[in-house]
Structure 1
Amino acid sequence: MKGKTVIVTGASTGIGYAIAKLFIEKGTNVVMNANNPERLEKAYQDLGSPSNAITVSGDVGKKTTGRELTQAALDKFGSVDVLINNAGVFHSKPFLEVEESDLDRYLTTNFKGTYYASQAVIPQMLKQQGGSIINIGTVLVDHAISGFPASAAVSSKGAIHTFTRQLAAEYGKDNIKINTISPGIIRSPLQGKIGVEDADSLAGLHLLNRIGEAEEVAETAYYLAQAEFVTGETINVAGGHTIGHAI
């Protein structure tokens, strides 16, 4: 991946930050995106203001943002080889309390953000005769938890899982690979945002009896970015979460 270019959305914290960090360390050119410009700039500085990375703030739920990210990658690095659709929002809310604004928020940021960014990069990937798109889903699509009501958020992620398979079918002949990473409980700021004070207390949801680290998701993203014969797949990085429980 050295010298190639990857766009990472939601790159200022958590999984997105870990992904950007790994690719930068591997010598890949990285376009880091997040909606909050101050947080994005801090993340960039925390990484040492690397010369092989740039920042482009913007809301991926807006169609123009994907175009801006693509153009920035081309202007600075000359190619778009990988898109990692990591930006997203996720909260628990009981089904009967979900309002239209909640649905709009999840569908716009999670699904439309993934859709629009992918629309923006594929024309360039077609010109380059290949590329890779990696989406971030959730194991909750396949393994729901009754004590964590999140129908709206999970449904938006489910759309991403389905989108992955369909897009892989449409662009396989063009050597554009589209896959999804489906994380389990990962140590990140997201846990605090959804009210989980001690993420390690959820270790029993995984057969390995521990929660995952953001770096482990990043390693999977790095593998998929290079994989030439993997497309349309959903890869669980979840310590056996969908298979059984350690409790």
Structure 2
Amino acid sequence: MNKSANTVVITGATSGIGLGLAKAFLKEGYNVVGTGRSAERLQATATQLNAGESFLCVVGDVAKPESARAAFDQAVAKFGKVDVLVNNAGIFTAKPFVDFTPDEIEEQIATNLKGVLYSSQAAARHMGERKHGKIINITASLAMQPHSNVPALMAVALKGGINNATRALALELAPYGVTVNAVAPGLVDTPMNPPNTHEYLGKLAPLNRIADVSEIADAVLYLAKADFVTGTILPVDGGFSAGK
């Protein structure tokens, strides 16, 4: 653990993009605070990362305001500050909108919307007081360019809303020296997309493949270092959002 190092809070850090982000930030020398709902999965992640005191597990439901506060309180207690928040935790379900149950709709709103708002609120308070910090939201390329072959209205509605919230919060926090941006991935090689789907999914993007998690992490790391970029939605999608 290095208290002089930068510290990042990553929500949903136990798999997929979140796990890739944790690896990337640790490699860059950051202290990493990873959040998740399962203590068992977080511990397994800590073991896999083998980062010792540089990785802190915080168990909680990102959709609850007390979980966001706990992540920042524990991060500050251990590392002294938080420099970057990555709002990564999310649920993506591709199916016709009429097939969503009320419980599924509420779950998507809780995780994909409330989770970003509460964590960003905690970050804005902490970073605003310090006059320094970066908030990075993981949204979705699909929210910028819906596709008839990928029915996902909930993702379009909620991630699209977060894209606009990113711009609004960037304006609000600019006087405090805090930047707010978003990375909008397209289809990515994560457990959410089994290998047998990769060939078909790749054809949806002009570059004719899906992304590697490391390519999403590279974009996030860029925004974590960029001091004169704010209010930007950066698509990392092989050209998917450019149109067809």
TM class, shorter-length: over 0.9
Distance 1:207 1:93, change over 3 A: closer
Matches within 5 A, 1:233-244: 233-244=232-243
Partner of 1:22: 24
Residue 203, structure 1, aligned to residue 202, structure 2: yes
Secondary structure of the residue that 1:205 maps to in structure 2?
A: coil
After superposition, give the CA deviation of every residue in 1:115-152 in whole Å (9 maximum; x if it has no partner). Answer: 00011121111121111000011011111121222112
Does the Cα contact within 8 Å between 1:125 and 1:131 map onto a contact in 2? yes
Matches within 5 A, 1:81-96: 81-96=83-98
Distance 1:72 1:200 in 2: 42
Residue 168, structure 1, aligned to residue 167, structure 2: no
Instruction: Using structure 1 for the length normalisation, give the TM-score.
Output: 0.93
Residue 118, structure 1, aligned to residue 114, structure 2: no
Distance 2:199 2:13 in 1: 23
Show structure 1 runs of 5+ residues with no match.
Answer: none
Distance 1:229 1:98 in 2: 41
Does the Cα contact within 8 Å between 2:145 and 2:243 map onto a contact in 1? no
Does the Cα contact within 8 Å between 1:102 and 1:152 map onto a contact in 2? no
C-alpha RMSD of matched pairs (Å): 1.4
Distance 1:74 1:3 in 2: 13
Does the Cα contact within 8 Å between 2:201 and 2:209 map onto a contact in 1? yes
Distance 1:58 1:199 in 2: 32
Letter in 1 for 2:17: I
After superposition, give the CA deviation of every residue in 1:13-32 in whole Å (9 maximum; x if it has no partner). Answer: 01010001011111101101
Cα deviation, residue 199, structure 1: 2.1
Partner of 2:103: 101
Cα deviation, residue 201, structure 1: 2.3
Distance 2:237 2:82 in 1: 29
Distance 1:159 1:201, change over 3 A: same
Residue 45, structure 1, aligned to residue 47, structure 2: yes
Does the Cα contact within 8 Å between 2:142 and 2:155 map onto a contact in 1? no
Partner of 2:229: 230
Show structure 2 runs of 5+ residues with no match.
Answer: none
Partner of 2:214: 215
Secondary structure of the residue that 1:51 maps to in structure 2?
A: helix
Distance 1:200 1:221 in 2: 26
Distance 1:40 1:179 in 2: 26
Cα deviation, residue 197, structure 1: 4.0
Does the Cα contact within 8 Å between 2:133 and 2:179 map onto a contact in 1? yes
Letter in 1 for 2:125: P
Matched pairs, number: 241
Secondary structure of the residue that 2:61 maps to in structure 1?
A: coil
Does the Cα contact within 8 Å between 1:139 and 1:182 map onto a contact in 2? yes
Give the ranges of 4+ consecutive aligned residues of structure 1 lying more than 4 Å apart after TM superposition: none
Instruction: Using structure 2 for the length normalisation, give the TM-score.
Output: 0.95
Distance 1:43 1:197 in 2: 26
After superposition, give the CA deviation of every residue in 1:61-100 in whole Å (9 maximum; x if it has no partner). Answer: 0110100000011000000110000000111221222232
Distance 1:122 1:96 in 2: 36
Distance 1:36 1:209 in 2: 35
After superposition, give the CA deviation of every residue in 1:201-245 in whole Å (9 maximum; x if it has no partner). Answer: 211222221110111111111110111000010000111111245
Secondary structure of the residue that 2:182 maps to in structure 1?
A: strand
Distance 1:131 1:125 in 2: 5
Distance 1:64 1:197, change over 3 A: farther
Distance 1:142 1:150 in 2: 12
Secondary structure of the residue that 2:146 maps to in structure 1?
A: coil
Does the Cα contact within 8 Å between 1:131 and 1:176 map onto a contact in 2? yes
